[in-house]
Chains A and B, each alone.
Chain A
C-alpha cells in the first residue's frame, strides 16, 4: 500500500520540529511532504499535492478556519484539524466547513494516526477529544435528553439490541423502546433526523454521548 501523502500547517515552529518523529511513532505508512506556517505558504510549495493536510485549528493569521479548510479542499486535500486545546465552536465550524476530523496535539499520536488514515480513506473519525468537546459544547441544535434517554441512546448506539439495553438498565423492553422513540422525536424536532440505528449512532457521536475513538463511514 502506498504511503499516505501528508502535509502539516502549524504556525508554532517548535511543534514542527518533532513532527516527523511524532507521526512515525505509530509505524510507517505516512509520507510527510511539507510543513508550512500558513495555508497560502503550503499551497505555494510541494504540500499542495498532499492527500491529507493536518491543519492547526487556531492559526493566528486572522483568516477564518472555514476559509482555510475550503481552500485546502478546493486544492484536493482532505483536512484533519488539530490543536493544543479544544475549542468547541471552532471545531464545529471546521467540521461544517468540510474538515474530516479533529484531534488534539497530544503526546500519543495514535488518535492523529487513526484520523489521518480514516481521512485518506474518505471516512470521518471522531476522536475522544472531539467527542468530549462536543459533549461540553452548548449548541442550540442539541435536544435536551433526560438521563434515562441519554443512557438508552448511548447503549443502543454502542451496538446493543433493545432487549439487552433494557436488561442493562433493568427496565422493560417496551419502556426502552419508548425512550428511544422519544429520543428520535427530540432529534426530529431539532431538525436532525435520527430514524435508523446508524443515524442514532451518528447523533450520539456528534453530541459526545458516545466516548469517541470511533471511525464512521
Chain B
C-alpha cells in the first residue's frame, strides 16, 4: 500500500461499489419517522374504536329500543364490546394496524347499519345521533388511514349501502336527515385521506431532514477525529524533529555521525508521509490493509504473526485508513514499551464489519495508571475508530502483555440511541405544520357543508337571520385563522381568546335559535363545526384551552336539550351520541397536537444543530487549510536542513550547522507550543513573524504569544510586534525570549535578549517607538528596561487604551 493510504478521504466520498452505502453523506434512506407514523395511526385507531365500544352499552340502553327487552340489541352490544377488546388485544404489541382488522371492522359495522332498525327506537333510525351511525364513521376513518384510496372508498360505499339498506328495512328512507347523513360518510373519507396524506408527506420530509441531520453528525464526528488525528501526528512528528535538531545543536555527537544520519533519514521519511498526496476514496481490499499493517510492524523491527481471513473483503476507505492508523499506534506502542519483538495480528471480517487484534506478550501496563488526557493508546486508537463509527479496546496488565482490539461494524456506524431519539422528535415539527393545514381544510370544508344543513333545516330555527349571521361570522373567523395558521404569523394568546369568544358566541346563538327537534338533528350544525375551529387553535395554544372550549359547547348542548325535553333520558343520550361521534375525532386531534407541540422545540433544536455542525465544519476546513500552508512554509525551511544531515552533506559537528539547527529548533518549538490545531490565526501570525525576524538575525527564538492577543486591536498588535522584532536586530547570537499578551484595552510585549549595543541606546529607541505607537493608535505606551546580569536586557513595551 502506498503512502497515500494514510491520507484521509475527502469530505464527500462517492458511494462505494460492492459495499452498503453507509458512507458519510450517503446514509441509507431513513424510515424512522414514517415508521413512527404507523404507530401513531395504530394507536389512534385503537383509541377511537375502543372509546366507541366503551360508550356503546350506555348509549344503547339509555336511548331505549323497539322493545324493552330487545334480543338483537343485547347481542349487538355484546358483540361491540367484544370487538373493542379484540381490537385492543390485536394491536397491543403491533406497530402497524392489521388489514384484516380494518376489514373486519368495516364488515361488522356494515352489518350493524343493516340491522339499524332492530337496534334503535323508530324515530332515531334516520337521525345522526344514534350510536350505530356514529360508530360506523370510525370504520371509514381507519380504512382511509390503513387501506389504499380505492379500498377506503369501497369501505365507504359498503357502509353507505348498508345504511341505506338498514333504513329501507326499517322504512325510514323518507327521514329528512337521510341525505345529509349519507353525505357525512364520504366527507369523513375525504378528511381521513387528507389527514393521512399530509401526515405521510410530512413524515417523508421529516425522514429526509433526519437523514441530513444524521449525515451531518457522522460527518462532523469524522472531521473532528481527522483534525485531532492530523494535529496529533503533526505534533508528534515535529516533536521528534525538534529533538533531533536540539541534539545536533547541542553538539558532543562526534563519532556518532551514523546515528544522526539514520535519525534524520527517519525524520525525513515521516515528514514526507504527512504531506497530503491526494484523496483516496475507493473501497480498499482487506488484504491491502493487512499488508500495510504487516509493513508497519516490520518497519519497527517486529516479528509479526499475521492471520487474515476473507482477504478479498472490500472495506470503506475511511474505515481502512482508521484501522491502519490505529494499528500503527498499537504497533508503535509494542515497539516502545512491550519489551518483546513478537506481535500477533489477527484480522477477520465480513460484509457486516471487521475486527483486528494486535497482541503482544510483553511487559504490559496497568490501564488505570496511565496519564489522563495523554495522547496515549486509548486516545489515539479510540479517537480514530470512533470517527468512523467503530470502537476499540485495550486490555493489559503488568506482566501479561497487551491486546488491542479494533472493531468496526456496518450497524454500529448508524445512529446511537440519543441521536435516534432526537431524530424521532424532529418529525413532530413536520407533522404539526402538515396537520395544522389539514385541520384548517377540514374546518372550512365542514363549515361550507354546514350551509347545506342550515338551508335544509331552515324551518327548525326561531330566527334564521341570527343563524345566517352566526354562520358568516364563523366563516370570517375561520378564514382569518386559516391565513394565520398557513402563513408564518401563528396565533398568540389574546388572539386565540378573542377567536374563541367570538366563535362561542356565534355557536351559542345558533343553539339558542334551534327548536327542540332541531337541537338533535342537523339544524344544530354548530355542534360539529365549532370544534374544528377550536382544534385549529390547539396547534398554537395549550391543549386545555381547546378542551375547555369543547367542554363549554357540550355543556351548552346538554343544558339546552335537558331544558327543552324536560330531562328526558333518551334525548340526552341522543345528544351525547352526537357530541361523541364528532368530539372524539376532535379531542383525538387535539391530543395529537399536544404531543407534536411538545416536540417542535426539539425539531428546531435539531435544525440549529445541523447549522452549528456545518459552521464547525467550515471552521475546521479553514484550520486545516491554514495549517497546511504553515506546514508547507516550515517544511520548506526545515527540509533542506534535515536532508543535508540525512545525506551527510552537512557536517553536524560544524558551528554553522549547529547554529542553524539551534535556530530551526526554536522556530519549530514556537510552532508546536503555539498551535494546538484550533488556535486563532492572530497569535500564529505573530509567532510566524517573530520567528522569521529571529531567523533573519540568527537569533534562537523563544516565543510566548498568548492566544488573547486576538482581542488586541490589530494596529496595536502589529506595531508592538514591529518594535519587539526590531530589537532582535541589535541582539548578539543566542536566545531571545519574546512574549506578548493583552486584551482589547491593554497589551504588553517583552523581549529578553543578549544585546550588542549599550542598553541605554536600546531603551531610547524603544521609548521613542512606544511614544510613536501611542501617538498613532491612541492611549498611552511606555518602554521599560532592566539589565539582567552582565549581558542580557529585558525590555517591556506596555500599551493601555
A residues neighboring B (CB under 8 Å): 11-15, 17-22, 60-65, 67, 84-86, 105-108, 128-129, 132-133, 135-136, 147, 151, 158, 211, 213
Contacts and interface: CB of A to CB of B under 8 A. Distances in A.
Given A61-B337, A62-B374, A129-B702, A85 B369 contact: no
6 contacts: A11-B336, A14-B247, A15-B250, A17-B247, A85-B239, A135-B704
Given A84-B239, A85-B242, A107-B662, A14 B263 contact: yes
A22 B247 CA distance: 10
B798 A62 contact: no
Contacts of B794: 211
Given A65-B371, A84-B669, A129-B702, A14 B800 contact: no
B74 interface: no
A85 B788 CA distance: 23
A205 B162 CA distance: 98
B243 A12 contact: yes
Contact of A84 (B243, B365, B371, B741): B243
Given A84-B242, A147-B746, A132 B702 contact: yes
A132 B750 CA distance: 11
Contacts of A135: 704, 739, 741
Contacts of B376: 62
Task: List 4 A-B pairs, minimum CB-CB distance, nearest first.
Answer: A18-B252, A21-B252, A64-B371, A14-B247
B256 interface: yes
A15 B249 CA distance: 11
Contacts of B177: none
Interface residues on B, range: 35 or more
B673 interface: yes
A3 B365 CA distance: 37
Contact of A108 (B256, B336, B735, B750): B735
A106 B752 contact: no
B133 to A, nearest CB: 75
Contacts of B735: 106, 108
B660 to A, nearest CB: 12
Contacts of B336: 11, 60-61
Given A84-B665, A107-B246, A135-B704, 8 more contacts: A12-B243, A19-B252, A22-B252, A64-B370, A106-B246, A132-B737, A135-B739, A213-B789
Interface in B719-751: 734-735, 737, 739, 741, 746, 748, 750
B317 interface: no
A175 B422 CA distance: 60
Contact of A136 (B658, B704, B748, B800): B704
Which among A15, A133, A147 has the greatest number of chain B C-beta atoms within 10 A? Answer: A147
Contacts of B700: 106-107
A64 B371 CA distance: 5
B243 A14 contact: yes
Contact of A128 (B243, B371, B748, B752): B752
A22 B665 CA distance: 17
Contacts of B337: 61-62
Contact of A18 (B251, B704, B734, B741): B251
Contacts of B55: none
A128 B704 CA distance: 12
A62 B371 contact: yes
Contacts of A12: 243, 247
B369 A67 contact: yes
B371 A15 contact: no
Nearest to B746: A147
B260 A14 contact: yes
Contacts of B662: 107
B786 interface: yes
Given A85-B672, A107-B700, A132-B704, A14 B244 contact: yes
Contacts of A19: 252
A61 to B, nearest CB: 6
B335 to A, nearest CB: 11
B58 interface: no
Interface in B624-680: 658, 662, 665, 669, 672-673
Contacts of A14: 243-244, 247, 253, 259-260, 263
A17 B251 CA distance: 9
B250 A18 contact: yes
A211 B796 CA distance: 11
Interface string B198-217: 00000000000000000000
Contacts of B369: 62-64, 67
B471 to A, nearest CB: 71
Contacts of A65: 371
Nearest to B376: A62
Contact of A17 (B256, B702, B704): B256
B706 interface: yes
B776 to A, nearest CB: 20
B658 A147 contact: no
A63 B658 contact: no
B91 interface: no
B739 A17 contact: no
Nearest to B789: A213
Contacts of A63: 369-371
B377 interface: yes
A145 to B, nearest CB: 11
Contacts of A86: 673
B268 to A, nearest CB: 15
A101 B81 CA distance: 87
Nearest to B705: A136
A22 B250 contact: yes
Which among A11, A85, A135 has the greatest number of chain B C-beta atoms within 10 A? Answer: A85
Nearest to B747: A147
Given A17-B253, A22-B250, A60-B336, A147 B737 contact: no
A5 B377 CA distance: 36
Contacts of A84: 239, 242-243, 246, 665, 669
A6 to B, nearest CB: 16
Which among A84, A133, A158 has the greatest number of chain B C-beta atoms within 10 A? Answer: A84
A28 to B, nearest CB: 16
A204 to B, nearest CB: 13
Given A15-B243, A158-B786, A107 B658 contact: yes
A211 B239 CA distance: 26
A63 B658 CA distance: 33
B239 A17 contact: no
B246 A15 contact: yes
Nearest to A63: B369
Which among A14, A21, A213 has the greatest number of chain B C-beta atoms within 10 A? Answer: A14
Interface in B224-266: 239, 242-244, 246-247, 249-253, 256, 259-260, 263
A50 to B, nearest CB: 20
Nearest to A85: B669
B739 A18 contact: no
Contacts of B748: 147
Contacts of A17: 247, 252-253, 256, 259
Contacts of A20: 252
Contacts of A61: 336-337
Nearest to B396: A62
Contacts of B672: 85
A211 B789 CA distance: 12
A15 B247 contact: yes
Contacts of B239: 84-85
A211 B735 CA distance: 14
Which among A105, A107, A132 has the greatest number of chain B C-beta atoms within 10 A? Answer: A107
A136 B786 CA distance: 21
A30 to B, nearest CB: 14
B282 to A, nearest CB: 35
Contact of A213 (B256, B669, B788): B788
Interface in B338-369: 365, 369
Nearest to A136: B704
A189 to B, nearest CB: 21
A62 to B, nearest CB: 5
Contacts of B752: 128, 211
